[in-house]
Structure formats: C-alpha cells, structure tokens
Amino acid sequence: MKFTLSWLHEHLETGASVEAIAATLNRIGLEVEGVENPGEALAAFKVARVLTAERHPQADKLQVLSVDTGSGDPLQVVCGAPNARAGLVGVLGLPGATVPANGMVLKVAAVRGIESNGMMCSSRELELGDDHDGIIELPADAPVGTSFPDYAGLKDPVFDISVTPNRQDCMGVRGIARDLAAAGLGTLKPLAVDPVAGEGPGPDVRTDDAAGCPAFFAQSVSGVTNGASPEWLQRRLKAIGQKPISTLVDITNYVMIDLGRPLHVYDRAKLDGRLVARKAKAGEEVLALNGKSYALDETMTVIADASAVHDIGGIMGGEHSGCLESTTDVLIECAYFDPEHIARTGQKLMLTSDARTRFERGVDPEFLDDGLAIATRMVIDLCGGSASGVTRSGAAPHVGPVIGYDPALAETLGGLDVPVEQQKHILESLGFAVEPLDANGDPVALGAPFEVLRVIAPSWRRDIDGPADIVEEVIRIAGIDNVPSTPLPRAPGVARPTATAEQKLERRLRRSAAARSLNEAVTWSFIAEKEAAAVGGGAWTLANPISEDLKVMRPSLLPGLLMAAGRNLKRGATSVRLFELGRRYLADGEKFTLTVLLTGDRSPRGWASGKAQPFTAYDAKGEAIALLEAAGAPVANLQVMGEAGEAWHPGQSGTLRLGPKTVLASFGMLHPSLLKAFDLSGAVAAVEIFIDAIPGKRGSSGFMRPAYTPPALQAVTRDFAFLVPTALPAGDLVRAIRGADKAAIVDARLFDQFTGAGVEDGHKSLAIEITLQPGEKSFTDADLKVIADKVVAAAGKLGATLRG
C-alpha cells in the first residue's frame, strides 16, 4: 500500500515529520517497507526557457539551443529533440546532474564540435512517463530558474507500507490516517460526503446472487466529458505507481486507494438492457481489462447484461464496456462482494487486482451509499453531466459484533496495564463504540463502578471477533514497545534435561555422520507418484496436494537423496556424500530412518592410485557398521544376510541383522533400474539404517555410559589360522570365536584370507587375531591354553579345523 505525505494530509491534521510518521506506523503494526522522495533525484534539474534554436552545423538532426536558466547568461545546449524550438519552456539538466533513467552523469562536453552545457530532458529520461518523442513542454508561464521538483510538486515523500491480511481498513489512506490519529499523531479530519440527489429513476440494476453479491448500488451520470484527468489527480496516482488512463477511470482508482472502496464505471452506450449481478453460466467467457479472456463457471459471480458478461464481480471489469474518451453516459457501480467468493474466484482464474485485494479482505459494507456519493460527485465536478437517482438492490450484511470486554484483560493477555480511560479513548479513536455497563447490564458513567465495557466494532473492522481482538487494538496503539519483558518463572536448582532418548540418539547420529565427511540433506516428505513407484510405491497419497510432484508421502528417503545427488553431479560435483535423518510413511505407520548415499569418486586420481576410485558396497557396509555403533547397536552380534530389497543390486547388497528377523540396516549398491529412473549414471552406494529396530540397552535409561577406566594390566594377543569350507562367512567364524570366552576375549578380528597351495579344494584359510584382557592378575600359560582350547572348540562347531 503506497501513499504520499500530501495525500495523508487530506485526512490527517498533523505537523509530524516523515520520520515520526514512519516510526509511528511501525509501532502500531503497519510496517513501513520504504519511504522515497522522488524530488531528491531531480534536485539538479531546473525549469528553463529556450531563447534561440539553430541547426547544428555538423548534424542535420541536432540543434544548438540558447537556454535561459534564470541565473544570468544563457547556456549553450545541443539537443536532438524534434520539438525543441525558441520560446519552449522545458526541463534542463545541469552539469553534475544524474539522469534517473540511465544513471548518466551530465557534464560539459563537445557534441560534434559544439560545446553543450547540459541536457533538455524528456519524460522518460526523468522517469516521469513513457514519452520519449520530445523534451518536456511546460506552460509558458512556468517560473524559469525554479527547481523542477519544486515546480512539479515532486517533493512529496511516498510511503510504502505492508498491510497484514486482517487490516482491511488500512487498504485506504483514510484508514491509515485513522490509526495515526488514534496513536496521537494528529487529528482525523471529517470525511466530506456530498450526495448528488439526481433526477429521475436510478439505473436498471439488480442482484440475483445474494451469496456472492449481497448488495448492488448504482447511479448514472449523463452528458459527461471524458479525457485526461486534472494534473493534481494524475500526479497523485503517478506518485504511487498508478498509470493515469482517463478522468473516469482515474476517479475509481483514486476512491479505491483513498477510501479503500473499489468501484467500477460502465459506458452505458455499450450495455444491453438491465445490468445484473448473477452466477456465471458454464461456458461463458469475458475479455477483461488486462486484455486476457477468462473462462467462467457456475461458482463465479459476474455482472452481465442481456447480451454478455461485463465484469468478473469484484475482481476486474470487462474491456467491452470500459470507458473511452468518447464516452458520454456512464453507470457507476458500488457493490459489496462476499470475501470468500472473491478469494475462490481469484484463485481459480489466477487473476489478481487491486480490487480483489480489497474485496477478499472485506471492504466496509456500510460504505456503499457514501462511496457511491463521493464517486458521483467527483465525476460531476471533473467531467460535468447530470446524475440520475440511486438504485439500491439487495442489502449488505451487518458487520460489527457487540463484545463484552473486561479492561483488565489488557494486562492479563497483553502484559500492559492501560488505564480504563485511555483504553476507551483508544477504541473510540479507532471507530469503536464503548459504553460501561453495571451488573444489571445498564449503562453507567465511566467514573462510576461498572461490570464490563460494551464494545461495538465499526463496520470496517471485519477482523474483530472477541475480547482478545480488543486487547490487540489497545496494546498496539498504547505501544508494544511499552510491554515489559517479564521472564518466565523458573524452579530453583539445575534444570533437568528435557531431550528424549530419541532426540539424543538423533543428535549423536547427526554428529557421527558429519564427522565421517557426510553432508546432511533435508528433502521433501512428499514425492511424485513415479518416484515413489521406483522404490515400491507409496502407501499414502494426498487428495489435495499443493503440486502433482509432491503428491505421495515418501516410502523411502532414497528418492529425495537421488534427486539431490543428481543436481549436484550436474553442477560439476565429483564426489557426493549425503545423509538424511527423517521419516518414511508406510502402511503400518511412520518409520524413523537414517539414509546415506555415496556416488561419484571415493578418492580422486593420483600418482599412487592412478584413476579415481568409485564407491563400492564395502564402503556402504563400513558406513552402516560405524553409524550403527554410534547408535548403540550391538555390532559384534550383527549378521550379514541378503534380501535387501528390489531397490538394491542383487549381487552387491545385503542386510545387517540381529537374528533372521530383526533387520537393522540395508546396504550396498543400488539397482541400475532405480538409477535409470532418476537419470543417474555410474554406481551409487547407499545405506538405510532402521533406527526404530535398534534395541535399547537393558537396565539403562537413555544412552549414558559409565566413566572410562583403563585396565591395569597389558592386553595379550594370539593368532589362529583355521581351515574352513569356502561357503562359510568369515563373520560367522569371528562371532563364534568372540563368544568362546566372553570374560577373557575382548576382541576378535579377521586379518588374512588365503586359498591356493597347501589349502585343499573347497576350503579357505582364515587367520583370526584375538585380544585377551587379564583382570586382577596376568594370564599364566595354563590359562592361555584353556582359552585356546575354547577357541578351537567354538570354531570346530562351524566345521573349522586348526591349520597345521
């Protein structure tokens, strides 16, 4: 919402500075996005008169002008404008001035060998219009030598404020002035309404759509003369970015911005019979004033005559019945449109306008007669003509609830103790009716004891619904900055931790993944149907998605990470290491999952390694085990099995399980068909860790670990080499050996695998290193032999024999 300082003064009697007005607007909740003074950029431009104009000796299209600037000797200026001539009064940019349109700094320069001391300017060069065919022509009596911004009235600051959706009353300059007056920054001037009685019956209009257009008021004016609007009106509209069109159209725009009341003017000569507000018919179309055609349906409110639709009710008029310079008879429409209907129609047509912005927020339903009277008076004053009577069809809804309000709520809800007298003054300044009532509900004087205040909201405040809204009005005008900062009460002592075990686990996993050089990604929880189908399909589909590409609740985090990886690779990334902690949405509920995706180069090319090395399934397995260990899973008991799923490469993937049924993670290479669905080439390794499946620690609340106490005695290592069947997984042998003597054996690891000479066919040699940790005393040879026998016996149960 934009307005100028002079425009504000039309409604507000104040001597406040621009800075004070801006500060007050911010204080009362009307955020100032900017204040501009267009005259500042034109300070170096003056009103000047051309004394003589002679053809340039070196150029047919240039003239050498002698220009009077009112300061003594005339200046010589070279000009190429076709309308430059002796006697013309225009605008001269002096050396040192900056041309707003292109940022060029003017200076004394030779043009085709002739010295030029500035530039005579066009409207486009000064960003005052689109005319670039010639220099600006001012009236002959314009004061030569005067600063052009002073002469043109351009030193009028323009405020640009952000109006929240609930403040429909501030979509007009008068509403803003009312708020400033209530805040103590001046006095609100009375609104001058001079109704035009008119002669004869009013125009033939009717509303047949009580839901979409409850009230349709209209008045005709005959014998008008349309054309360019007065200079003051054009200047005011131009200052806020509105393009003047004609007097009739400019009047409707002026009233809309000035008072927040949209109107529409029809050329009566283009209408066919009665004008009716009704529902559109299927298949009807309208060519709107923006030059576009819109297909209508039965839910939309339109204004139509016997032949065609002329207006998308409350949003935009039609081009066919618009006013031109030849228009002589007009019909002025002032209607009330239901905000919800306006919003739905605008959304369907994807059509925005200044009128829609105001109607869908809710204009003042009781301002129909006054709004029509003000517009008609302006038409007659500026265009002449004679008015008809007023036709009123339908009735606008009554807005203005009666609210019982306890003034103590200002402190209990708003945190600020505001005296009752001040609260009453604030509310009345904003247009509310306030009356104290006793316990019997009878009015009493403000100084007498009372039970409650009866507050009646004004018709222009559709957002007021209850006592909390009254508190908001009182507090914002009294000053939100005055609300004291009061800390919440806190129990003595050290605060107890509030993070849940799941939150602690999530934090630890994030830190662990980041420490392993993985980059966290946050992707959408909704994906497209084809993306969900690539990983088995989604169980939940939105009936009303915000986009077809965000329709299915993700059954896996892989699609989002695959798309993120693809974007990175296409932008030149050579190695992508991503992880995401999030939820999957399956038929049996939400599942918390950590997913890792690795693609590109695991290590770059180098003199030792040669070519760059890609990620493999073993990299994925390493990440899975490391992150499971960080999550507190018993990684020593994990078993590697297959059946990772259809999204995985059948020969290069697996699962990590606790027993055959409890799957903690899937890892390996993704299936080529999945990569093709996401337009990815090359190998992609991934991990899915199913956090919900990780068992909690028994007898422990959370994940607190006892303090680390280093052992007092040195650990002992022993090596064993076993001959085992080729099909036996090495992990099974390591797990069996580790469990042979849980008190003494603290670790076991595979450090060699051998097949070949000395190893019979169908077998392999596995070398295992075990670590033994003594407790209170060192191991004796006898102790070590007992342990070794247990190791050999445990391995023998798997068909392993000690290699000689």
Q: What Cα–Cα distance (Å) separates residue 540 from each residue in 97, 537, 563?
A: 65, 9, 21
Q: Are strands 205-207 and 275-279 parallel, antiparallel or unpaired?
A: parallel
Better-scored residue on pLDDT, 699 or 193: 193
Structure tokens at 571: 């932008």
Per-residue pLDDT for 54 more than 50?
A: yes
Better-scored residue on pLDDT, 117 or 607: 117
Burial 546-571 (b: 16+ CB within 10 A, else e): eeeeebbbbbbbbbbbbbbbbebbee
3-state secondary structure 256-274: HHHHCCCCEEEEHHHCCCC
Share of the chain above pLDDT 90, in %: 79
**pLDDT at residue 221, as a whole number:** 97
Interior angle at CA 706, CA 704 and CA 707, nearest 5? 120
Strands (E), 476-562: 519-520, 526-527, 552-553
Domains and CATH numbers, the chain: 2-37+157-188 (3.30.56.10), 40-152 (2.40.50.140), 205-394 (3.50.40.10), 402-481 (3.30.56.10), 501-693 (3.30.930.10), 716-802 (3.30.70.380)
**pLDDT at residue 659, as a whole number:** 86
Share of the chain above pLDDT 70, in %: 99
Per-residue pLDDT for 181 more than 70?
A: yes
Place of tokens 């219009």: 129
**pLDDT at residue 706, as a whole number:** 66
Does 619 show up as a binding residue in the annotation?
no
Decide: helix, strand or coil at residue 409: helix
Q: How confident is the model at residue 114 (pLDDT cuts 50, 70, 90)?
A: very high
Does 469 show up as a binding residue in the annotation?
yes
Place of tokens 């960003």: 127
Place of tokens 């240039």: 62
Cα 429 from Cα 425, distance rounded (Å) = 6
**pLDDT at residue 697, as a whole number:** 64
Q: What is the arithmetic mean of pLDDT over 189-211?
A: 94
CB half-sphere exposure, 422, CA atoms < 13 A:
16
Q: What Cα–Cα distance (Å) separates residue 215 from each residue in 204, 208, 391?
A: 14, 10, 11
Q: What is the arithmetic mean of pLDDT over 205-219?
A: 96
pLDDT for 765-785, tens place per residue? 999 999 999 988 999 999 999
Per-residue pLDDT for 494 more than 90?
A: no
Per-residue pLDDT for 698 more than 70?
A: no
Q: What is the arithmetic mean of pLDDT over 417-422?
A: 93
Mean pLDDT, the chain, integer: 92
Place of tokens 């699962």: 655
Q: How confident is the model at residue 446 (pLDDT cuts 50, 70, 90)?
A: confident
Note whether 383 and 342 are within 8 A (CB): no
Q: Are strands 316-317 and 433-437 parallel, antiparallel or unpaired?
A: unpaired
Decide: helix, strand or coil at residue 484: coil
Per-residue pLDDT for 699 more than 70?
A: no
Per-residue pLDDT for 73 more than 90?
A: no
Place of tokens 């009312």: 178
Better-scored residue on pLDDT, 563 or 448: 563
First to last CA, the chain: 92
**pLDDT at residue 466, as a whole number:** 93
Cα 390 from Cα 204, distance rounded (Å) = 10
Interior angle at CA 351, CA 346 and CA 357, nearest 5? 65
Decide: helix, strand or coil at residue 614: strand
Burial (CB count <10 Å: 0-12, 13-18, 19+), residue 373: buried
Cα 791 from Cα 740, distance rounded (Å) = 6
pLDDT for 383-399, tens place per residue? 999 999 999 999 999 88
Taking phi first (over 0 means left), then psi (-120 to 50 degrees means alpha), and beta for anything else, what does residue 438 get? beta
Give helix then strand counts, H and E, for the chain.
19, 40
Q: What is the arithmetic mean of pLDDT over 652-680?
A: 95
Does 473 show up as a binding residue in the annotation?
yes
Collect all residues with Cβ–Cβ distance below 8 Å to 359 and sequence separation of at least 6: 262, 314, 315, 337, 339, 342
Q: What is the DSSP letter of 578?
A: E
Cα 56 from Cα 76, distance rounded (Å) = 12
Q: How confident is the model at residue 702 (pLDDT cuts 50, 70, 90)?
A: very low
Q: What is the arithmetic mean of pLDDT over 237-255?
A: 93
Per-residue pLDDT for 406 more than 60?
A: yes
Cα 793 from Cα 240, distance rounded (Å) = 92
Per-residue pLDDT for 690 more than 70?
A: yes
Q: How confident is the model at residue 310 (pLDDT cuts 50, 70, 90)?
A: very high
Taking phi first (over 0 means left), then psi (-120 to 50 degrees means alpha), and beta for anything else, what does residue 13 get? beta
Total number of residues shown for the chain: 804
Q: What is the arithmetic mean of pLDDT over 463-487?
A: 92
Q: What is the arithmetic mean of pLDDT over 78-85?
A: 93
Per the DSSP assignment, residues forming a β-bridge with 580 are 595
Cα 580 from Cα 596, distance rounded (Å) = 7
Does 194 show up as a binding residue in the annotation?
no
Collect all residues with Cβ–Cβ distance below 8 Å to 606 and sequence separation of at least 6: none
pLDDT for 657-667, tens place per residue? 998 899 999 99
Amino acid identity for residue 346 in this structure = G
Cα 649 from Cα 642, distance rounded (Å) = 11
DSSP 699-712: T-STT--PPP---S
Note whether 767 and 719 are within 8 A (CB): yes
What does pTM read for this prediction? 0.64
Strands (E), 258-314: 264-267, 275-279, 285-287, 293-295, 301-304, 309-312
Place of tokens 């993985």: 518
Cα 545 from Cα 579, distance rounded (Å) = 26
Per-residue pLDDT for 495 more than 80?
A: no
